[in-house]
């Protein structure tokens, strides 16, 4: 695919996703400016990621630290988000490149990020990952463990917890994901009252269900397949 063809295909897809976000906001009585599209580039090459950035996708997401390192070097000047698991031994190299870590899934990772932030002198912006669907295959805090995690986070100088993140179980009918997103929103609201943390962000919704997530209050939606399916695959991508 030539650069011109790639740009045309991707421009059409980005416009389509943004229109769907706008429509979902209208249904929910929300301002579309309150929703950030995180284009998840883990399945495509740096070339495709660069075109997405040129088309106005200023927030790009990666699932693996090693891929974030590579693409952040190739595509500078955007906000890179780590949306997958962060191993503690990769914190030092990953955090300086990431605008936001979506996937703090344990107190051990939270503590390691706090130590890095205190050493650097700048708090690390993070989200706590919550397993609202209850699937054994998914990581994250159980909902009933979030109050203690938020209490602890409020005492840490090296991290800033900006909100919560979840992934719904895949369903052929996107409406089936709604209870998961309601659970996260209600949990966030209760944690605001309990902890005093602002918790402004809800990272929820992916290609199959981002419109439902927006209707339920998502401020960050992580969209990959809808934008990038069939485009130049990253090395090792399925």
pLDDT for position 238: 43
Poorest-pLDDT segment among 74-88, 92-106, 129-143: 129-143
Q: 3-228 adopts what CATH topology?
A: TIM Barrel (3.20.20)
pLDDT for position 236: 59
Once rounded to an integer, what is the mean pLDDT over residues 2-11? 95
Given a contact cutoff of 8 angstroms between Cβ atoms, the answer to whether 191 and 200 are in contact is no
Contacts with 72 (C-beta within 8 Å, 6 or more apart), sequence order: 80, 97
**Structure-block tokens of residue 163:** 């909100």
Listing DSSP states for 122-154 in one string gives SPEEEEEEB-TT--TT--SB-GGGHHHHHHHHT
For strand 59-62 and strand 220-223, is the pairing parallel, antiparallel, or unpaired?
unpaired
Percent of residues, the chain, with pLDDT higher than 70 = 99
> Could you tell me the pLDDT band of residue 235, with boundaries at 50, 70 and 90?
confident
pLDDT of 8 over the 80 cut: yes
pLDDT of 234 over the 90 cut: no
> The tokens 């996260």 sit on which residue?
184
Q: Give the residue, 180 or 193, on which the prediction is more confident.
A: 180
Percent of residues, the chain, with pLDDT higher than 90 = 92
**Structure-block tokens of residue 57:** 């996708």
* This prediction's pTM: 0.96
Given a contact cutoff of 8 angstroms between Cβ atoms, the answer to whether 170 and 207 are in contact is no
Per residue in 29-45, pLDDT (tens digit) is 999 999 999 999 999 99
Cite the DSSP H helix spans in the chain.
Answer: 3-28, 46-54, 65-74, 91-94, 107-120, 146-153, 178-195, 210-215, 225-228
User: Structural domain boundaries of the chain?
Assistant: 3-228
- Say how many Å lie between the first and final Cα of the chain, rounded: 18
């Amino acid at each position: 695919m030539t650069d011109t063809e790639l740009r045309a295909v991707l421009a059409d897809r980005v416009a389509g996703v943004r229109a769907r976000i706008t429509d979902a906001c209208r249904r929910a009585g929300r301002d579309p400016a309150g929703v950030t599209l995180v284009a998840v580039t883990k399945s495509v090459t740096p070339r495709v990621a660069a075109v997405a950035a040129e088309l106005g996708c200023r927030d790009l997401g990666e699932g693996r630290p090693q891929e974030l390192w590579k693409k952040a070097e190739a595509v500078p000047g955007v906000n890179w988000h780590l949306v997958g698991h962060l191993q503690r031994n990769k914190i030092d190299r990953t955090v300086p490149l990431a605008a936001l870590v979506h996937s703090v899934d344990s107190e051990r990772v939270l503590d390691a990020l706090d130590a890095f932030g205190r050493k650097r002198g700048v708090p690390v912006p993070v989200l706590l990952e919550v397993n609202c669907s209850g699937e054994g295959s998914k990581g994250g805090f159980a909902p009933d463990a979030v109050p203690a995690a938020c209490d602890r986070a409020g005492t840490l100088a090296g991290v800033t917890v900006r909100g919560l993140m979840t992934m719904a179980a895949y369903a052929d009918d996107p409406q089936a994901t709604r209870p998961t997103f309601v659970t996260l929103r209600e949990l966030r609201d209760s944690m605001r009252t309990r902890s005093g943390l602002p918790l402004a962000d809800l990272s929820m919704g992916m290609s199959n269900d981002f419109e439902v997530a927006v209707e339920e209050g998502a401020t960050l939606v992580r969209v990959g397949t809808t934008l990038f399916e069939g485009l130049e695959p990253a090395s090792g991508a399925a």
